[in-house]
Structure 1
Amino acid sequence: MFKREIPITQEKIDGYGRINGDNDIIHYDHAYALMRGFRGTLLHGPHMTAFGADLGARKHGKDWLTRGRLKTKWVGPSCPGDSFRVQLDEGGQLEASSGDAVAMVGSATLDDGAGA
């Protein structure tokens, strides 16, 4: 089992937003996020996915670069103050939680050469 736990901060969210150019207010304005029904601003979904990709690389090594297959579905929020906990099991299933709920599910596997 491969695991990571990442503390989520507004600074981390802001930094990722500068890199990817996503300026949606839900990631930066706490009052707006609360008004929309969230506990706070939201970690970007692709940022969650990147943490899963990291575990794929750790598990599969250099083969990940040419044969890696990553699938994710964002199913819950991750907000500043949360610990984003992501794990990859031996079968390639990804699951991440944030706060007390599942935030992302998916898989990180190697292509078997048959295509897909």
Structure 2
Amino acid sequence: MERTLEITQEMIDGYGRINGDNDIIHYDHAYAVDRGFRGTLLHGPHMTAFAADLGARRHGKEWLTRGKLHTKWIGPVCPGDTFVAAIDDEGTLTASSGGATTMVGSISLTD
């Protein structure tokens, strides 16, 4: 099961308004590039939210009370990227952007 999204600056800006993260790395392209990135960065918790959506799709209502999600952010996602999050049959989570791995983890239900 996977979810594919085209990442836009508008998505990043909207998420920042919701979570209150005002770090300039998410909003100022030149600043982000000066620090070695291709552009502004998608918030890590935003990536995790896409993974949580996969958990809900996989496990239905049980996800709300027994869902267990572990993520580790390991690479940047920038506006213009195609972000793909996927879980396999064992619940292993992988996400990529531009062919590079950006997040790993697992999705399961607690006992």
Secondary structure in 1 aligned to 2:32?
helix
Moved over 2 A (4+): none
1:75 corresponding residue in structure 2: 74
* Cα shift readout 1:24-64 (whole Å, capped 9, x = no counterpart): 00000000000000000000000000000000000000000
TM-score, normalised by the number of residues in structure 1: 0.95
Seq. identity, %: 73
Could you tell me how far apart the structure 2 residues matched to 1:91 and 1:14 are?
A: 34
Number of residue pairs aligned between Structure 1 and Structure 2: 111
Give the structure 1 partner of residue 12 of structure 2.
Answer: 13
Which letter does structure 2 place at the counterpart of 1:108?
I
Could you give the per-residue CA deviations for residues 61-94 of structure 1, whole angstroms, max 9, x where no partner exists?
0000000000000000000000000001110110
Q: Distance in 1 between matches of 2:31 and 2:38?
A: 10
Task: Give me the CA root mean square deviation.
Answer: 0.5
Unaligned runs of 5+ in 2: none
Q: Does 1:51 align with 2:50?
A: yes
TM-score by length of structure 2 reads 0.99
Structure 1 residue runs without a partner (length 5+): none
Whole-Å separation in 1 of the counterparts to 2:45 and 2:93 = 14
Task: Quote the Cα distance in structure 2 between the aligned partners of 1:62 and 1:88.
Answer: 18
Is 1:61–2:60 an aligned residue pair?
yes
